[in-house]
Chain A
Amino acid sequence: MTKIAIVDSGVDTPEEILMAADITPVRFLGDPSLNITKANEHVPPNHCIWARNLLERALNGLDADIKGLITTHGCDCTNREFDIWLECVDLDFMYFLNAPLKRDKAAIKFFVNDMKELINQIESKFNVKITPDKITEAIKLTNKIRNLLKEISEYRSKMILKGSEFHELVKKVQQEDKKQMLIVLESKLEELKTKKPFPEKMKRILLTGSVIDDTEFIKNLETLGLQVVIDDLCIGTRYFWDSIEEKADPIKALSKYHLTKPIYSTKIPSLQRFDNLKEFAEKYEVDGVLNVAQKFCEPILYDHPHISKEFKALNMPYLFVEIEYSRESFKQLATRFEAFAEIIGGK
């Protein structure tokens, strides 16, 4: 089956449009074990480390079944680097999707237009027909997946499902065939219903920040006694928290969905992200909030002082860390996480 890779520093790409064309959307993620060399010939080393990692992966060669790529308007880095990808990544189809920065009616209308253009270009390039009915069908499928993920997510809070296992699951959904993943999720939910909470006592963490795609990072937190019971990440709740209207015009419904779901730091007003975080922190009775920025991730760096101030006012333990997108840094980070776990313990 034809696949199209998605480069998105948020999670604003309408996968349903690709699914309606019988194309599998594959979220393109990084590989923390990679040594960045080729990408550094195109992008200065003080630019987002995660985005450079993605470029390095692409320059090393994409899977043969990936026939195209969509980069979705997110942060300055991924936006500007699209032209570089056009220059040096060997793919016939590359589309820059201008997911709006704002979230008002004009933005929704604009996003509809840009999605229609995406449809036109896919139809023309891949000789397919993307009908409203097919998109609606895809929306129904992804809504089922969202609902299942939302239900499964609760088992993190019940201390039955490890945060890392859930993260791996969301990542898979974003990268593999959705129909197959529906079966996987249904089976997982049934399995979880029979399970009991794990025995070890763990601190309850709300995880926020940049794109975190390395599950090992979350596993590392778990070895230190920190369980991610909830998150507001794009490989997390932001991918499934809300559902898409099924009876409306499907393209308009997609646009509305992406511009009304919980906000991310790449959109405006990003400071409202704190409202979502506060709600989650209270609802899931977390012991502390962990904000993780990939090195040079500007959207997170701008929001951090505001979030820090607000959580301080709530007397909620909050830790901000910048990471190097390399597992070698785990040891160094462990000291800070251990100290944080101790603070939480004293709460």
Chain B
Amino acid sequence: MSKGKIIKSEMLGATQKLKNEMGRHYLAIEQAYREGKPVAWATSGTPVELLYAMDVQPSLPENSATISAAQKYSQNFIEVAEDAGYSYDLCSYFKTNMGVTLTETTDLGKGGIRKPTFMLSSDVICDTHVDWFQVQAERYKVPHFTIDVPHVVSNTTNKQKNYYKKYVIEQLWKFLDFMADILGHEMDMEKAKEVAKNSYELSMIWQDIYKLRKNIPSPVSTKDTFGGLFPLFTMPGLKSPIKLYKRMYKEAKQRVDNGVGALQEENFRLMLSGIPFWYNLKFFNILEQWGAIIVYEPYTYSFSKFMNPDITKEMIMNKPVESMAELMLSFWYIYDLQTRIKRFEETVKEYSIDGVLLHNNMSCRPNSCGLYDLKKHLMEDFDIPCLIIDADMNDPRKLNDTQVTNKIESFIELLRERKKK
């Protein structure tokens, strides 16, 4: 095994400002609490835009849970939740949040969170989101609204998708009624359109940044995207993250124009499927010693939700609620197995990817279901090398550092051999 010299990838200067941007988000939450303004917990995949349109400050416990992990507090919170009876096998985001609330942690630096005015969840990504908020809404005695999104499978027909969409639309209107009852005001449609327009713009720039990653060498690494995705699901609809993304784009474009990559010596281009290990993001730096860089993550890409070609900017402006329903049903993150296989194959070609890392997330079963078949198809039908990594997004106890490093090292060796042929 020959290792190259250790060269660290270069984060975009603009990404450094992400802390400030997220800081503003958390400040807005704190301010809303101080001023007695409505705050809603929301699960990822829900139309957070509707909260902004109704002047409700969103607070996403999943996002707070990643902070707990990054600051090395998640294990402690998870164990608190387990002591309260929640199984070792349940979602580590949920248990982090449960631990945070059981210990009444409000320190934002530790991933703390406060009681919301109401909660919004959906089963679009997983049932856990709904179970999680149900349990917490019961504890806090706050209203909870769930958007039930029918499950799209590989043989779902367009006819079925049409009545699925109607069902989701009906629920979104009901959700607006639910909020109006709590808040005492209706949604201002002009504001809703403005929010939808901003959300669309934010997503489009993110997609543009992604397109730049197709270049060899890639101007952007996971140091920019893992954290960079947060505004997409915490602040869709606001103007300020658009500026940040524009700066990221501009800088990345300059790198492309100058032939500069995020990594000085780019030998292998990888794709990472699944949620990263928030408690050990530095783990992914080990790839750099072999000149390997991750150039595409379906996870961070999927939150730029406006990728359904049937949803145009005009539709979003004219029918923001209906468009949200359509987007929830065509969310990259929940693609059925057949579509996923097809999209992976296309992406590998578009981004000149040498190999795919698949994170078998121990406490996120919906996320890991189908990974084995996906791997089989990519390898056998399209000759794409794949490696499954067993770990967890927020629970450090479930990552065997040495074992995973060894597996990746062997995988890189395999990619090296392929390149020689």
Binding site for B on A (CB under 8 A): 41-44, 46-48, 73, 75-77, 79-84, 86-88, 94, 96, 98, 100-102, 106-107, 109-110, 113-114, 117, 266, 268-271, 295-296, 298-299, 301-306, 308, 322
Contact = CB atoms under 8 A, between A and B. Distances in A.
Contact of B131 (A44, A79, A98, A298): A298
A215 to B, nearest CB: 26
Interface in B129-188: 130-132, 134-135, 138, 146, 148, 150-151, 153-156, 159-160, 163-164, 166-167, 170-171, 174
A4 B129 CA distance: 32
Contact of B127 (A106, A266, A269): A266
Interface stretch (B84-92, B234-242, B289-297): B84-92
A87 B373 contact: yes
B338 interface: yes
B362 to A, nearest CB: 6
A44 B85 contact: no
B365 interface: yes
B134 A44 contact: no
Contact of A75 (B127, B148, B362): B127
B163 A113 contact: yes
Contacts of B366: 76, 79-80
Contacts of A73: 150-151
Contacts of A41: 372
A239 B123 CA distance: 25
**Interface size of B as a range:** 35 or more
B151 A98 contact: yes
B138 A268 contact: no
B336 interface: yes
A106 to B, nearest CB: 5
Contacts of A302: 86, 90, 128, 131-132, 134-135
B85 A305 contact: yes
A43 B369 contact: yes
A83 B153 contact: yes
A177 B138 CA distance: 43
B368 A44 contact: yes
B146 A106 contact: no
B4 to A, nearest CB: 33
Contacts of A322: 87
Main secondary structure of the interface of A (DSSP, over half): helix
B371 interface: yes
Contacts of A81: 369
Contacts of A299: 127, 131
Contacts of B156: 96
A86 B153 contact: yes
B372 A44 contact: yes
A137 B358 CA distance: 51
A271 B85 CA distance: 15
A42 B375 CA distance: 10
8 contacts: A43-B369, A80-B369, A101-B130, A102-B171, A268-B134, A270-B134, A271-B138, A296-B365
A117 B372 CA distance: 31
6 pairs of A and B residues whose beta carbons are closest in the complex: A305-B85, A83-B337, A80-B369, A302-B131, A110-B167, A101-B148
Contacts, number: 142
Nearest to B130: A268
B360 interface: yes
A26 to B, nearest CB: 21
A76 B126 contact: yes
Contacts of B365: 44, 46-48, 76-77, 80, 296, 298
A79 B167 contact: no
Nearest to B368: A44
Interface centre among A75, A83, A114, A269 (most CB of B within 10 A): A83
Contact of B171 (A80, A96, A106): A106
B28 to A, nearest CB: 30
Contact of A80 (B130, B167, B174, B370): B370
A100 B123 CA distance: 11
A102 B373 CA distance: 31
A41 B369 CA distance: 12
Contact of A76 (B89, B128, B166, B170): B128
A346 B159 CA distance: 60
A154 B206 CA distance: 62
Contact of B373 (A84, A113, A295, A296): A84
A42 B174 CA distance: 39
Interface centre among B153, B171, B370, B372 (most CB of A within 10 A): B153
Contacts of A113: 163, 167
A229 B123 CA distance: 35
A80 B340 CA distance: 13
Interface in B39-72: none
Nearest to B367: A80
Given A86-B338, A302-B132, 6 more contacts: A43-B369, A73-B150, A83-B154, A86-B155, A96-B156, A102-B148
Nearest to B123: A101
Contacts of B131: 270, 298-299, 302-303
B336 A271 contact: no
A269 B145 CA distance: 11
Contacts of B174: 106
Given A76-B366, A80-B370, A106-B170, A87 B89 contact: no
Contact of B338 (A47, A83, A304): A83
Contact of A306 (B128, B135, B373): B135
A263 B390 CA distance: 35
A338 B134 CA distance: 34
A96 B153 contact: yes
Contacts of B126: 76
Interface string B187-205: 0000000000000000000
B171 A306 contact: no
Contacts of B371: 44
Contacts of B166: 110
B336 to A, nearest CB: 5
Interface in B334-352: 336-338
B396 to A, nearest CB: 17
Contacts of A75: 127
Contact of B336 (A46, A83, A106, A295): A83
Contacts of A301: 86-87, 89-90
A96 B151 contact: yes
Contacts of B84: 305
A163 B128 CA distance: 33
Given A77-B369, A106-B170, A113-B163, A84 B134 contact: no
